[in-house]
Homo-oligomer: A and B are copies of this chain.
Amino acid sequence: MQFSKLGQKFTAHSGIMQLMADLGEALNSDQPMIMLGGGNPAKIPQVQQVLRQRTYDILLDEARFDSIIGDYAPPAGNFAFRKAMADLLRREFGWKLGPENIALTNGSQTAFFYLFNLFGGETPDGGFRRILLPLTPEYIGYADAGVAEDLFVSAKPSIEYLDDVLYKYHVDFAHLDVGDDIAAICVSRPTNPTGNVLTDKEMAHLAQIAREHDIPLIIDGAYGTPFPNIIFTQAQPLWDDHIVLLLSLSKLGMPGARTGIVVANETIVQAIASMNAIASLAPGNIGAGIAQDMARTGELIRLGQEVVGPYYRAMAQKTLGWFAEAMGDTPYRIHKPEGAFFLWVWFPDLPITSAELYARLKDRGVIVVPGHYFFPGLKEDWRHRYECLRVSYAQPDDVVRRGVAIIAEEARRAYE
């Protein structure tokens, strides 16, 4: 049996497939793995308790249960949830939007798949436009999402050294080239993998560029604001009719429900609905059903601010401490953790590639994500690309700490 050209592209080795396969393997493995790869959120007891209660609420209302499980959503997604979400965002931030500005997808990755191909690729008049990622490292899951080959173009950041260990990436606006061949701009905020949070000033600048070029600025808020709010700095949520804000229930604790939330102008929302109809008939109802009252009451935002954000902020600090203890005089730097739940660990002048370090760690039962996958669209050679690992701190303390100790050992061995 022979695959099409597109079939071969989509089934070639991809970073996101390796990441998700590692995650699944570790979760289903008989031998305990130290799982610091993947983007699985922590099981925070207060959150799990709320999710169980909301699910139980649905079971108590037979008609509601029957409808959530037994009815197809409309192509843009469950209407009641979209309305509750629009009301919440209007109430909290004064954004002028209604349910017609909200579309749901089966996870926000699906929304990215739609959006990148909706805007990028061959133009109706035979040209070609790309998606600009203004700052790499950027999310591994974007890299292979293009139907068209070579869909992304991206830029190196400028680096600010904060102390002996910490540093921070910034968008290098001086070298950012936005021509007519750019179909959309996309950033994750907080950045996955680095935990960088683009400043309000950087965001305003990007939004201005998008408006000037009449192209969308796609903001991946899967870990961000206004929920789950895994952000440890000041960061203002922003939205206007040129901004496509992607939110998710996954990092709050519901990845199994696959609920992505697109906040956009009506044209884009209708396009997402059309693609949902074609590629999946309708998005699922269950995540929306569980979260509906949480959106209506604002619990979604409160949980982020009071429970989820503080939980990961504490974990980030602890994990920085464990690295400091374990690394000794082995060279390393870590991007300042400003959000999400990863440390982006840089081993300057590492004598082996990050792929090799990943493999050695996997042999020792520690799963991380090698950094070289996080530079989609970057054409120029940059050694930095092969010197970093993404290390999740969403596991319990003892697991993360043991993992960090083994990472330190293997890094030291690599430098010897």
A residues with CB within 8 A of B: 1-8, 10-11, 14, 16-17, 19-21, 23-25, 27-28, 38-41, 43, 48, 51-52, 55-56, 59, 62, 65-76, 79, 106-107, 109-110, 113, 117-124, 129, 141, 144-145, 147-148, 183, 214-216, 242, 250, 253-258, 267-268, 270-271, 273-275, 277-286, 289-290
Partner of A6, one of B2, B121, B144: B121
Is B69 within 8 A of A59, CB to CB? no
Is A271 within 8 A of B2, CB to CB? no
Partner of A70, one of B121, B256, B277: B256
Is B72 within 8 A of A7, CB to CB? no
Is A274 within 8 A of B110, CB to CB? no
Given contacts A6-B121, A74-B24, contact A14 B277 (CB under 8 A): yes
Is A20 within 8 A of B79, CB to CB? no
Measured between beta carbons, the chain B residues less than 8 angstroms from A250 are 72
Is A255 within 8 A of B282, CB to CB? yes
Is B256 within 8 A of A20, CB to CB? no
Residue in chain B with minimal CB distance to A48: B66
Residue in chain B with minimal CB distance to A128: B4
Is B2 within 8 A of A183, CB to CB? yes
Is A119 within 8 A of B284, CB to CB? no
Given contacts A17-B273, A118-B3, contact A70 B258 (CB under 8 A): no
A1-B214, A11-B118, A17-B273 known; 16 new pairs, CB 8 Å cut-off, are A1-B215, A4-B119, A5-B121, A7-B271, A10-B117, A11-B274, A11-B275, A17-B274, A24-B73, A51-B69, A106-B106, A110-B280, A256-B284, A257-B284, A279-B279, A284-B286
